[in-house]
């Protein structure tokens, strides 16, 4: 086994970083039971017991790492970390331990959890644990608890809320590597991308901490010395329903503006990625939010329905598919609840012949292959002006074939595993259907098996570039949500703009050209909520994000999100006598 460096974190946790050997670059986290922590004050004997536990755990870690680079052990007793119920010395994998719900400032078992679900490590295909779905009673308790916390939080000043959000951002930044590693294990994306996700998460909290203290109304002067003013007030208990492609980031995107405005939130993560939301809840609690201000309920469709239909929920923010978004909108409408819907897309990326070809190729890769193509705003319809079609296609194929696929925890991996087997099969079926309809697979589009036998059960595929496509093909019309790029030739600006807008979606769009006037002209004509000029998939938290048409409405991020997590009250002040018509 290679040499390692040991980092001690918060006195109770050991992070083992392997510095050499074939497993180089992996982190191994070790902690020990609460009982020993509680006995620390008993004297030297307890300290010796602790030291013995550490030594024993390092011995176990050494044995584990001889067999697998995928070792992550976290025993009960350290708050905020994924906990391990069982560890295999053969595989080195871990299993989750209940509970993954969070209420009243602690992890809890759902009171009516009568259905359990397995969650997987996409990179290996192994089950890493089971967790309980929340029923109607648990949802009701979570909402009630959030209501109680809302009464406290909403009375705090903006600066007080800002201080707490800044502290939460600091904790996330401090625990970046830990959260990113767990995100990679549960989601399958590369550790490189996961770190970026965690960075944008703490930046989101930091950004809204900056806005929390500046939320203000407006003064309006009226005739006769009278006046009016507006107050921006919180909504109450908001529901956030997350997606599996950016689990931790989406939880931050929804909760940060909600909490900055003085709201409480009950958050339901995707059942495919249940791990990281409870970590965020613990971080908020550690930062100082009232107990219950950010609760987590695990579950599927039924749990989401209970949340959306709850009479004491003031607003729902959902990220996911169009069909589910429609159902959520219908349920919320019965209670006249505002909703924010961030749904699917089939976005166009338009590349003109006068572009900087190298940048256009990079942009196309960024627009299609981030997070294994599992990104709602991806520019999967790549329109290329005919004059450069061949040169562009050749270079895209070359760079796509050089993308390293494999263990997402390795530093040089650039494409990890898709979320699960059924989704992998669905994406591959789109490729087959495209071929049947006349498209040509220029590269990729097949199930991929990494060389490492430990990854043989993972959900991998090679990134795919399709040529000879037309606008009527299913691969061009429907969201695939996988690493599949469709290249379509065009001749004129007017033609491509009409074709680009010929979709029921309107989430994003992009253009590459040296002609800045044309660039602005084209994006003005695109029916999309997020547009890029000479870049793609760049979305810092300062920028509002959301779509047109069937891609949803409302906005996440930026100052615009404040409007969707608050309500405006107008106060009219009479400074003279009341005039009456009676």
Q: Residue 362 domain-assigned?
A: yes
Asked if residue 360 and residue 245 are part of one domain, the reply reads no
Residue 16 half-sphere exposure, CB side, CA atoms within 13 Å?
Answer: 27
Q: Residue 418 domain-assigned?
A: yes
Q: Residue 408 domain-assigned?
A: yes
- At residue 460, what are phi and psi to the nearest 5 degrees? -105, 150
Asked if residue 333 and residue 361 are part of one domain, the reply reads no
pTM comes to 0.85
Asked if residue 367 and residue 262 are part of one domain, the reply reads no
Count other Cβ atoms within 10 Å, centred on residue 436: 10
Asked if residue 354 and residue 330 are part of one domain, the reply reads no
Q: Residue 486 domain-assigned?
A: yes
Pairing of strands 84-87, 94-96: antiparallel
Pairing of strands 505-506, 484-490: unpaired
Average confidence score pLDDT of the chain: 87
| Residues marked as catalytic | 342
Q: Residue 576 domain-assigned?
A: yes
- At residue 77, what are phi and psi to the nearest 5 degrees? 120, -10
Q: What is the DSSP letter of 230?
A: E
Asked if residue 357 and residue 267 are part of one domain, the reply reads no
Asked if residue 224 and residue 336 are part of one domain, the reply reads yes
CA angle at 462 for the pair 191 and 188, rounded to the nearest 5°: 30
What is the SS3 assignment for 163? helix
Does pLDDT of 90 surpass 60? Answer: no
Asked if residue 220 and residue 140 are part of one domain, the reply reads yes
Q: Residue 410 domain-assigned?
A: yes
Asked if residue 386 and residue 507 are part of one domain, the reply reads yes
Parent domain of 231: 133-161+203-343+551-582
pLDDT in tens, 243-295: 999 999 999 999 999 999 999 999 999 999 999 999 999 999 999 999 999 99
pLDDT of residue 95: 54
Asked if residue 415 and residue 287 are part of one domain, the reply reads no
Q: How many domains does the chain have?
A: 2
| CA–CA gap between residue 537 and residue 378 (Å, rounded) | 7
Q: What percent of the chain has pLDDT over 70?
A: 83
Length of the chain in residues, anyone? 582
The structure tokens listed for 323 are 């069909």
Asked if residue 464 and residue 372 are part of one domain, the reply reads yes
Nearest to 388 by CA among 356, 347, 349: 356
Task: Identify the CATH number of the domain in which residue 487 sits.
Answer: 3.40.309.10
Q: Is 52 left (phi over 0), alpha (psi -120 to 50) or beta?
A: alpha
Asked if residue 481 and residue 460 are part of one domain, the reply reads yes
Between 158-174 and 247-260, two packed helices, what is the crossing angle to 10 degrees?
Answer: 160
Residue 186 half-sphere exposure, CB side, CA atoms within 13 Å?
Answer: 28
Asked if residue 420 and residue 536 are part of one domain, the reply reads yes
pLDDT in tens, 403-447: 999 999 999 999 999 999 999 999 999 999 999 999 999 999 999
pLDDT of residue 346: 98
Q: Residue 102 domain-assigned?
A: no
Q: Residue 91 domain-assigned?
A: no
- At residue 416, what are phi and psi to the nearest 5 degrees? -95, -145
């Amino acid at each position: 086994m290679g040499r390692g460096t040991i980092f001690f974190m918060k006195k109770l946790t050991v992070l083992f970083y392997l510095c050499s050997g074939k497993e180089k670059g992996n982190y191994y986290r070790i902690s020990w039971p609460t009982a020993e922590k509680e006995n620390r004050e008993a004297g030297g004997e307890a300290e010796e017991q602790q030291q013995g536990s550490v030594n024993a755990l390092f011995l176990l870690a050494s044995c584990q790492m001889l067999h697998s680079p995928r070792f992550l052990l976290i025993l009960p007793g350290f708050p905020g970390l994924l906990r391990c119920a069982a560890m295999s010395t053969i595989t080195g994998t871990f299993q989750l331990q209940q509970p993954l719900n969070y209420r009243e400032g602690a992890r809890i078992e759902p009171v009516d959890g009568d259905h359990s679900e397995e969650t997987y490590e996409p990179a290996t295909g192994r089950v890493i644990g089971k967790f309980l779905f929340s029923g109607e009673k648990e949802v009701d308790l979570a909402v009630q608890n959030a209501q109680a916390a809302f009464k406290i939080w909403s009375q705090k000043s903006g600066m007080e809320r800002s201080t707490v959000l800044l502290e939460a951002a600091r904790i996330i930044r401090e625990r970046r590597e830990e959260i990113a590693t767990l995100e990679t294990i549960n989601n399958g994306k590369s550790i490189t991308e996961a770190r970026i996700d965690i960075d944008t998460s703490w930046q989101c909290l930091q950004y809204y901490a900056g806005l929390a203290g500046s939320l203000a109304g407006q003064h309006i002067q009226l005739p006769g010395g009278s006046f009016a003013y507006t107050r921006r007030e919180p909504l109450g208990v908001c529901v956030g329903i997350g997606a599996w492609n950016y689990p931790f980031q989406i939880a931050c995107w929804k909760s940060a503006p909600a909490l900055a405005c003085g709201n409480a939130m009950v958050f339901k993560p995707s059942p495919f990625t249940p791990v990281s939301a409870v970590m965020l809840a613990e971080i908020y609690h550690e930062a100082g939010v009232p107990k219950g201000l950010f609760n987590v309920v695990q579950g599927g469709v039924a749990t989401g329905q209970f949340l959306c239909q709850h009479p004491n929920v003031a607003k729902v923010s959902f990220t996911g598919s169009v069909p589910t978004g429609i159902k959520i909108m219908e349920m919320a409408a019965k209670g006249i609840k505002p909703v924010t819907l961030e749904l699917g897309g089939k976005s166009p990326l338009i590349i003109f012949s006068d572009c900087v070809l190298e940048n256009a190729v990079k942009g196309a890769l960024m627009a299609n292959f981030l997070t294994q193509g599992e990104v709602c705003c991806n520019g999967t319809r790549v329109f290329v002006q005919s004059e450069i079609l061949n040169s562009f296609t050749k270079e895209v194929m070359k760079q796509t074939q050089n993308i390293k696929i494999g263990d997402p925890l390795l530093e040089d991996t650039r494409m990890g595993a898709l979320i699960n087997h059924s989704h992998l099969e669905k994406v591959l079926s789109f490729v087959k259907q495209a071929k049947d309809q006349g498209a040509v697979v220029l590269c990729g589009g097949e199930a991929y098996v990494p060389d490492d036998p430990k990854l043989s059960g993972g959900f991998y595929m090679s990134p795919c570039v399709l040529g000879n496509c037309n606008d009527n093909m299913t691969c061009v019309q429907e969201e695939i949500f996988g690493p599949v790029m469709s290249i379509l030739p065009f001749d004129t600006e007017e033609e491509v703009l009409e074709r680009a807008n010929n979709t029921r979606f309107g989430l994003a769009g992009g253009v590459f050209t040296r002609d800045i006037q044309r660039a602005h002209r084209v994006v003005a004509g695109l029916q999309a909520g997020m547009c890029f000029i000479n870049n793609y998939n760049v979305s810092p938290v300062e920028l509002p994000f959301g779509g047109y048409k069937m891609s949803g409405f409302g906005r996440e991020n930026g100052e615009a999100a404040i409007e969707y997590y608050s309500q405006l009250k107008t106060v009219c002040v009479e400074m003279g006598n009341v005039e009456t018509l009676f």
